[in-house]
């Protein structure tokens, strides 16, 4: 599973230090200004050693502040993602630019954003296959998210054209064979798999460059941006966003919970 590591700004410490400084100053019967900008040069010079000594003696204050900020950022991101799922539900679950597998009227929908050149997507392919077999009430939506170069974009364009001919299980055969192939995937590989499965190659040549194929890829890119997806594979299970190849058990647990209580986690 890929990781997402973001740099931490020194601004993390600004608010905790202001609180400490104010508390120390009030303890000395000095009235603190409303903001750091209003401290005099003399006050700033006096506060420096006080704050430093306090943090050296109480380093857990910084740790707790960073932990609180990290939790707040994650909570805020989760809230934004939930809002994005609600506001984009039509494009997310019922777009004309997607492949729909499993039960089209299923009680729970799993959306997968993938790239045909993504190694983690290849490893997670059997997770999706097992879910399709084990969950009769599951609707699976496949969305091309070609972020790994021109070859990925080409493969997504061919796959978009193939969707015009292959539906349901037939498209799943195409998707499975192409995604499980070895080596880099591009236009040639995507066309070869389509030909092996009996597609009308002349029609694919006409369809793959149509504006609606590019519109579908662009829509998926916009959805991924709204959902703050940072890589592939990524999933939406019900209303919950899952980033990374988390494995069959995790996905099945979320699907089963959504069937049972309508949420990823049941109390």
Q: How confident is the model over 104-150, as pLDDT tens digits? A: 999 999 999 999 999 999 999 999 999 999 999 999 999 999 999 99
d(CA 178, CA 190): 7
Note the pLDDT of residue 4: 39
Segment holding 51, helix H or strand E = helix 41-57
pLDDT of residue 52: 81
- List the chain domain ranges: 10-58, 89-261
How is residue 115 written in tokens? 């790239």
Q: Name the DSSP letter for residue 36.
A: G
Read off the tokens for 63.
């740790």
In 3D space, the residue among 115, 125, 129, 116 whose CA is nearest the CA of residue 189 turns out to be 116
- Say how far apart CA 68 and CA 64 lie, in whole Å: 6
**Whether pTM exceeds 0.85:** no
> Which phi-psi region, left, alpha or beta, contains residue 54 (left: φ > 0; alpha: ψ -120 to 50)?
alpha
Give the residue carrying structure tokens 């006096």: 46
- Say which residue the tokens 């037939």 belong to: 170
Task: Return phi, psi of residue 78, to 5°.
Answer: -65, -40
pLDDT band for position 27 (cuts 50, 70, 90): very low
Q: Choose the CATH number for 89-261 among 3.40.30.10, 1.10.3720.10, 3.30.360.10, 3.90.1150.10.
A: 3.40.30.10
d(CA 49, CA 55): 10
- 97-102-107-109 Cα dihedral, nearest 10 degrees: -40
pLDDT in tens, 46-99: 888 888 888 888 888 778 878 777 666 666 566 676 666 778 888 999 999 999
Quick: pLDDT tens for 150-193. Answer: 999 999 999 999 999 999 999 999 999 999 999 999 999 999 99
């Amino acid at each position: 599973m890929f990781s997402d590591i973001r740099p931490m700004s020194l601004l993390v410490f600004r608010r905790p230090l202001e609180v400490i400084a104010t508390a120390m100053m009030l303890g000395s019967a000095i009235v603190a200004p409303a903001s750091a900008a209003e401290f005099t040069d003399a006050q700033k010079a006096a506060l420096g050693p006080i704050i430093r000594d306090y943090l050296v003696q109480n380093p857990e204050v910084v740790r707790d502040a960073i932990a609180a900020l990290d939790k707040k950022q994650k909570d805020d991101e989760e809230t934004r993602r939930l809002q994005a799922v609600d506001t984009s539900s039509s494009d997310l679950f019922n777009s004309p630019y997607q492949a729909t597998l499993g039960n089209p009227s299923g009680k729970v929908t799993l959306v997968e954003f993938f790239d045909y050149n993504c190694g983690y997507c290849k490893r997670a392919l059997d997770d999706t296959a097992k879910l399709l077999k084990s969950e009769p009430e599951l609707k699976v939506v496949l969305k091309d998210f070609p972020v790994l170069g021109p070859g990925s974009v080409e493969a997504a364009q061919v796959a978009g054209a193939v969707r015009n001919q292959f539906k349901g299980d037939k498209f799943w055969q195409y998707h499975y064979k192409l995604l499980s192939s070895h080596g880099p995937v591009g236009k040639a590989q995507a066309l070869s798999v389509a030909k092996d499965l009996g597609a009308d190659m002349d029609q694919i040549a006409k369809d793959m460059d149509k504006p609606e194929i590019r519109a579908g890829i662009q829509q998926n890119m916009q959805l991924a941006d709204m959902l703050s997806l940072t890589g592939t594979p990524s999933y939406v299970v019900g209303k919950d966003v899952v980033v990374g190849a988390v494995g069959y058990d995790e996905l099945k647990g979320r699907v089963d919970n959504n069937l049972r209580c309508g949420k990823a986690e049941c109390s």
